[in-house]
Structure 1
């Protein structure tokens, strides 16, 4: 599909939701800017001598603005990185536009860091993806009404605060994914050029020659050539131009641009790892990054930020993957593809890699609670069978875990709940008249469960502590999704566009 995909949505003003259906042409903050400026701090800032230097430059947003959150998980950690196209604070000097424009979250990705601290997956969420935006806190302390079928990047603009609304974007991501966001980082592109110069440039690749008109489609002529086809090293304004290019490649879409930005960040991480870590290289790099960060209170000091960064130092480039939320075009917008998206979120929630492997650090648990080797998810197994899931234990999130597994096998989950009595040991499957065969199919996923006929008409699974103790079954991400992932050590010149 050709054409520019413009941003529209509902925006909030004066404490009231105001539907606006507007469209604007503007330069976008790119995936590379967001991921680079945040991951450089998260993955490379690692020495006590930078604490004082960094503490004075990190801003935070209020934790009280986040509500209705999923339960915390013991499986890994999730970091939301938001990149804005704000022109305030001097950003218009690099990106053009109105210097009073507070911007939108035109870049966002959720970084899942696995419990073994050796694997990571960054999932890009397209800015035009149609989502539900929950009730979000406004600057005056009131709460905006929920929105449905709205472009994702509209969440950041709720309330029209000068500093944006990162809490609303975080709420939206948690609602979309069902995952608890442990940390949130907001970046702009003010210091992006300085940062790329600090590392001595980054190697990139172009699928074709690029001209001025590709960067600015409003030009009447194609202008001068700004990039030649093939690999090259860029820094400063040149690097910024690279991550902004959208037109003239593939279908001119933001989806294709995300692919190039993912390749840029992979190259940047490789450059940092190959150069090694020293005070000389890290201090200017950390300064450039932290000057543009706004973070949640959990990362609101240099000590907290560095401590978190040091926990990630063993993540391998090959085990660092980039992919985009399963999507399809819906007119000029982006629709999320179901159930592929749910399978992806379920895998991350269970701390399973894209190929379905559990890399969580649970050796003792698995040794003391052996269970049969689960079969690969069969999406046809539960077709036409509806199941209610009840947690009869004190283990938080157990019903959600079981529901994810059931959906992977094609069952329809009608709801989850917590039982009045939370000390059941054995898992019980109940079924109404004529539903025994369905319960027996369900029992294939719950070895050792007890089947009981009940007066209720449907099928239910009442989870006991035996299920809580068993390792989670592998959850396979659809091959169409996993196959599109890029490794941080992959070929720089491959998969650089869409369409």
Structure 2
């Protein structure tokens, strides 16, 4: 009995344990189901929330019409991508409170640079195009749907003002950049004053550095008095209106030129990129930034949604700050305007077309053997320039005898047809100039590629002619387009990396 009782007791105990186990398993199963359901609900809510955020961002973004983009474009390339960034001083939509000026004024492009992202997604270069650069503006669409005639030897920022509208003409600027560079612009982004200010606030400010105290008169030279101090000398963090004032200062630093201001703007963008990278480029950290930026962005249709815009930014996350360079289109003063230095500019564009970095690396990271500084070499060095089908007259604008015949021989080696080699009427030419008549710019630029530092100028007379100057006479054996030329200071030694000390090179001009 006792034994039987003990067995019975053990059976009863085992039954209770089994029941308890089944209960615990059912509880755990219910818990897992509850957790799973809860997670699904949370994920659903997050998805709905993210969708709402994207809808909100989509509502912020404005696009400009693709109708104004030229049909005559450079081909699509697999060698990296190119984004044109335009900073506009338009006074519309709340911008007048930040910049002053007339609200009904036309939109103008104050700052522009072409950002080339290499195919390896680890290198990038931003090339600033000075607003006073003399360029040829191709046909552009007007607000009424008609198209303008081409304009030659015109300031670059005039392209954005074609049509005289308050919102500007970004498609015309894109067309002009494509004609200037021979590179296809994959996307165009326009940022106004208000958008710039909000962008700097969203990242919590950007570190800058000043070589001296800055006062109100430095920002507005029309003031009769020095005014209040805006910035103190040394490093500091700026955002909003103060950041805008910093990048707009021109007269109080260095030589007071717009070229100096470009260098300061490059330093600011470099510091902004560093701040964004330091904060982490995740969708979570980018959403507040995207919300601030998209409120005042105008983009091409290819970036016309939040998903496309954030996806594009995320594709840049692995680009190293040291490998992000800032340069300026090779330039020189022509009176109060800025002239492009040939053939150095063509060398820079050729390097970007080939996806080569400033130190001669390919976009895949492989270094060209024996070709350091490919971006600053003459175009496609050491290849010859193809002069086939181009007729040119050569004139000696100096007192050095035999110079025209010598230059004619060089041109013939490149396949050009020389129609005349003679002495110019005026023989006090300083610089070598290639003149071209209507429709001859592309051919003239080919001629300029053969002669270092030759300028290209449009004239009313048909045809192509080169007037040799004292610079060529002093060294007629200098390397031509068939040999690498020394790096132009504006495209190499003046280059800035995104990780450079913001307090270096403070005068910027």
TM-score by length of 2: 0.68
Larger of the two Rg values belongs to structure: 2
CA distance in 1 between partners of 2:360 and 2:236 (Å): 36
Matched, 1:321 2:325: yes
Matched residue of 1:334: which SS? strand
2:200 aligns to what? 196
Structure 2 CA distance for partners of 1:376 and 1:349, relative to 1, 3 Å: same
Task: Give the distance between the partners of 2:234 and 2:227, measured in 1 at CA.
Answer: 20
1:478 counterpart = 2:481: no
Partner of residue 65 from structure 2, selected from 62, 67, 79: 62
Count of aligned positions = 372
- The whole-number CA distance in structure 2 between the counterparts of 1:112 and 1:475 is 22
Indicate the SS of the match to 2:113: strand
Give distance in 1, aligned partners of 2:486 and 2:113. Answer: 18
Residue 96 of structure 1: which of 100, 103, 106 is its match? 100
Deviations 1:44-78 (A, max 9, x none): xxx87842231111111122211210111110000
The whole-number CA distance in structure 2 between the counterparts of 1:376 and 1:280 is 40
CA RMSD of aligned residues (A): 3.1
Could you tell me how far apart the structure 2 residues matched to 1:96 and 1:309 are? 32
Q: Does 1:360 align with 2:333?
A: no
1:179-224 deviations in Å (ceiling 9; x for gaps):
0001111110113333322222211100111111101111111112
Alpha carbons of structure 1 residues 71 and 378: separation in structure 2 relative to 1, 3 Å:
closer
Q: 1:123 aligns with which of 108, 115, 127?
A: 127
In 2, the alpha carbon distance for the partners of 1:476 and 1:355 equals 14
Equivalent position of 2:259 in the other structure: 255
1:177 aligns with 2:150: no
What's the offset of the Cα at 1:317? 0.6
Q: 1:227 matched to which residue of 2?
A: 231
**Matches of residues 364-403 of structure 1 in structure 2 within 5 Å?**
none
Matched position secondary structure for 2:262: helix
Larger deviation: 193-202 or 323-332?
193-202
| Secondary structure, aligned partner of 2:84 | strand
Pairing of 1:139-218 with structure 2 (within 5 A): 139-218=143-222
1:270 to 274, 277, 283: 274
Distance 2:89 2:55 in 1: 29
Contact 1:107 1:126 in 2 (8 A): yes
**What is the CA-CA distance between 1:260 and the residue it aligns to?**
1.1
Which stretch has the larger CA shift, 272-281 or 486-495? 272-281
Structure with the higher helix share, 1 or 2: 2
Q: Which residue of 2 aligns with 1:107?
A: 111
Moved more, 169-178 or 153-162: 153-162
Q: Which moved more, 1:306-315 or 1:345-354?
A: 306-315
In structure 1, what is the equivalent of residue 500 of structure 2? 490
Query: 5+ unaligned residues in a row in structure 1: which ranges?
Result: 1-46, 367-371, 382-402, 418-433, 440-472
What aligned pairs does 1:232-251 form with structure 2 within 5 A after superposition?
232-251=236-255
Unaligned runs of 5+ in 2: 1-49, 391-408, 415-481
- Report deviation, 1:149: 0.5
Alpha-carbon separation, structure 1, partners of 2:369 and 2:218: 53
C-alpha contact 1:155 1:172 (8 A) present in aligned 2: yes
**8 Å contact kept, 1:374–1:474:** no
Shift of 1:416: 8.4
Residues 286-319 of structure 1: CA distance to partner in whole angstroms, max 9, x if unpaired? Answer: 1110111111111111121122222211111111
**Greater RCO, CA 8 A, separation 6+:** 1
User: How far off its partner does 1:498 sit?
Assistant: 4.1
**Residue 90 of structure 1: CA displacement?**
1.4
Task: Assess if the C-alpha contact under 8 Å between 1:352 and 1:475 holds in 2.
Answer: no
Superposed, which structure 2 residues align to 1:336-355 within 5 Å? 336-355=340-359
Structure 1 residue 279, shift from structure 2 partner = 6.4
Correspondent of 1:51 among 50, 54, 58: 54
How far apart, CA to CA, are the structure 1 residues paired with 2:506 and 2:193?
Answer: 22
Partner of 1:422: none
- The offset of 1:227, in angstroms, is 1.0
Q: 352-361 or 222-231, which moves further after superposition?
A: 352-361
* TM-score (structure 1 length as normaliser): 0.69
- C-alpha distance 259-373 of structure 1, shift in aligned 2 (>3 A): closer
Change (3 A) 1:416 1:89: farther
After TM superposition, give the deviation of residue 278 of structure 1 in Å: 5.8
Question: C-alpha distance in 1, partners of 2:176/2:328?
Answer: 17
- Is the 1:377–1:476 contact (alpha carbons within 8 Å) kept by the matching residues of 2? no
